Amino acid sequence: MTSPRTVSRLARILALVPYVLSRDSVDVEEILDRFGYTEADLSKDLNTLFVCGLPGYGPGDLIEAYIDENEVIIDAADYFARAPRLTSTEALGLLAAGMAIIGSGQANPTLAGAVAKLTKVVLPEAEAAISVEVAAELETVGLLRQAAREQTAVRITYRSLSREEETVRQIEPWSVFATLGNWYVQAYCRLVEAERVFRVDRIRSMEATDSHFERPEGVPEPGVSYSPSDDDIVCRLGLSPSARWVLDYYPVELVSESKKETVISFSSPDVQIPARLLLRLGSAARFISGDEVRATVAEIGKKLLAIYA
């Protein structure tokens, strides 16, 4: 399964190539600013391009991509001179994303102008047909964004969504973003010594500290995912090919994979979630281990039989 980070990297490369080709060469600092690159990531992507090309793979068939002094050079890639064309679904998604940023109050005039032009081309009635609502920006959002910019750790009191417990922890904010109608902060949590994503409206209190940190290279793209805890219910399931959609829908760990069966490890704070999934999948899934889940499946099964008996 392709990771979101790989997809994001490919999309950035496909945007980078036609941009540089249209200008012969571009200053490194401009590339870093426009595409959100670090110097290390830019070097990796240029090295990846350097070994790509058309069949034959002779000197005239391979893309040349490198940094000359302070300039990014890309040559022998004329077939990438035009930016990739968007499908109707991609264009609509891009339009909605742009409208969301404008709705959050974070857009600059350039983005607003681009959205207006795209609206006229893609969907002239978009303003009436598309409603993009972004959660109101809490005061905490601005404070977290400032802490991320200044690379200053903050102390938060956080109420867990899964267990409704409050903990006090120090976090190192990496980025603040809005998705699924809520604001989130992606950070390194010093309490659990791992990356975590926190929902901002569940932060009960926050204060800045005098502790500074260095943002690591290769930080994952911000997004909402589930991070298993030591108190989770864990079970192991075998999925038939028709049930492989579970890997895309649930945050599971891939254990093994073959043409006939995919084995996953499923972690959840609520035993009902994997139990109900097993009942839903029926013969498309095989229960392997997890006593709590086995007992809950049996209990739910008895209740269902009693209803239809």
Distance CA 23, CA 34 (A): 14
Q: Which tokens in the block code for residue 190? A: 């010093």
Instruction: Say if residue 233's pLDDT is above 90.
Output: no
**CATH (domain of 180):** 2.30.30
Instruction: Say if residue 1's pLDDT is above 50.
Output: no
Tell me whether residue 224 is in a domain: no
**Quick one: how many helices (H) and strands (E) in the chain?**
10, 12
**CATH (domain of 25):** 1.10.10
- Number of folded domains in the chain? 4
Q: Please report the pLDDT score of residue 240 as a whole number.
A: 92
pTM metric for this prediction:
0.43
Q: Is the dihedral of CA 134, 138, 140, 144 positive or negative?
A: positive
Tell me whether residue 221 is in a domain: no
Higher pLDDT, 255 or 228: 255
Distance CA 141, CA 19 (A): 33
Instruction: Say if residue 170's pLDDT is above 90.
Output: yes
Tell me whether residue 217 is in a domain: no
Choose from 24-38, 109-123, 243-257, 287-301 the range with maximum mean pLDDT: 287-301
> Within this chain, do residues 146 and 201 fall inside the same structural domain, yes or no?
yes
Torsion of CA 288, 291, 295, 298, to 10 degrees: 10
> Within this chain, do residues 200 and 240 fall inside the same structural domain, yes or no?
no
Phi/psi at 65 (nearest 5 deg)?
Answer: -145, 120
**CATH (domain of 270):** 3.30.70
Q: Please report the pLDDT score of residue 2 as a whole number.
A: 44
Q: What is the pLDDT of residues 284-304, one digit of tens each?
A: 999 999 999 999 888 887 877
Domain with 259 in it: 233-308
Taking CA atoms, 82 is separated from 45, 61, 155, in Å, by 19, 18, 48
Mean pLDDT score across all residues of the chain:
79
> Within this chain, do residues 299 and 262 fall inside the same structural domain, yes or no?
yes
> Within this chain, do residues 198 and 249 fall inside the same structural domain, yes or no?
no
> Within this chain, do residues 13 and 33 fall inside the same structural domain, yes or no?
yes
